[in-house]
Amino acid sequence: MVEAFLGEGGFGIVAKCRDTKTNQAVAIKVNKSRTDILQQAKKEIFILEQLRRLDPDATNIVQWNGFFLERERVCLKFELLDQCLWDYIRDPNNRRLPISEVRPILGQLTNALSHLGSLGIVHADLKPGNIMVVNRYESPVKVRLIDFGLACPASAVMPGDRVGTVGYSAPEVMLGLPHNEACDMWSLGLVAVELVTGVPLYPGKKYYDVLKFIIETQGQPPDHDQRVH
């Protein structure tokens, strides 16, 4: 039973629902019935199947509770969490979080990425909108990494696939070069800056704008053949 709509994206919507069997509130990600999104949902399920055996509390990764089909739409069932970090830092009481609060959040996200790395998985879309606060009233704040719609095995990364969100993607992703789990650490650094300052580090709506800003402030990146493989 649907109780509220929590968010919307290119994939479809996320709704707060009530499990009529357990009377428990859950989050349901309802994917659109488009062929490309159905294929993406299958890839996400493949990743979630690997993550399912992990303890959400120990890994800071959202708990997935399976999927079902509804009128040719793939619906993914997750534990219900409180709010994303974007909403958390937009609260007038939380803007520009103190280091004492940022440190445990980054520690938890590093832990989540460490577990992904141990499984050879690249999240590929790390940003405040994909990091959920479990309960905003707890201290220290606990967070969990969500949305594995763009995640893939590092061995399956295809150079040229520009995945992720503008402003959080690593330079090698934006340039269409080979990349791996390290791109998630770049994104985590940008999340850290945003938590401390309250604003994104790299402005721009296109990769060109972001790369231009990076070059102007940090210099020309090394040639591809000079990179460490």
The pLDDT of residue 228 is 46
The model's pTM is 0.91
Residue 130 near residue 184, CB atoms below 8 Å: no
Closest CA to 107 of 151, 57, 142: 142
- Taken as a whole, the chain contains a residue count of 229
The pLDDT of residue 225 is 55
Choose the catalytic residue: 87, 125, 184, 209.
Answer: 125
3-state SS string for the chain: CEEEEEEEECCEEEEEEECCCCCCEEEEEEECCCHHHHHHHHHHHHHHHHHCCCCHHHHCECCEEEEEEECCEEEEEEECCCEEHHHHHHCCCCCCCCHHHHHHHHHHHHHHHHHHHHCCEECCCCCHHHEEECCCCCCCCCEEECCCCCCEEHHHCCCCCCCCCCCCCCHHHHCCCCCCCHHHHHHHHHHHHHHHHCCCCCCCCCHHHHHHHHHHHHCCCCCHHHCCC
The pLDDT of residue 229 is 46
Give me the residue spans of the domains in the chain: 2-79, 83-226
CATH topology of domain 83-226: Transferase(Phosphotransferase); domain 1 (1.10.510)
The pLDDT of residue 124 is 94
The pLDDT of residue 218 is 85
Q: Catalytic residue at 87?
A: no
Q: Rounded distance, CA 2 to CA 168, Å?
A: 32
**CATH fit for domain 2-79, picks 3.40.50.300, 1.10.3720.10, 1.10.600.10, 3.30.200.20:** 3.30.200.20
Q: How do the pLDDT tens digits run along the chain, 229 residues long?
A: 788 888 888 888 999 998 888 889 999 999 998 999 999 999 999 999 999 989 999 999 999 999 999 888 999 999 999 999 999 998 877 677 899 999 999 999 999 999 999 999 999 999 999 999 999 999 889 999 999 999 999 998 887 777 889 999 999 899 888 888 999 999 999 999 999 998 899 988 899 999 999 898 888 776 655 544 4
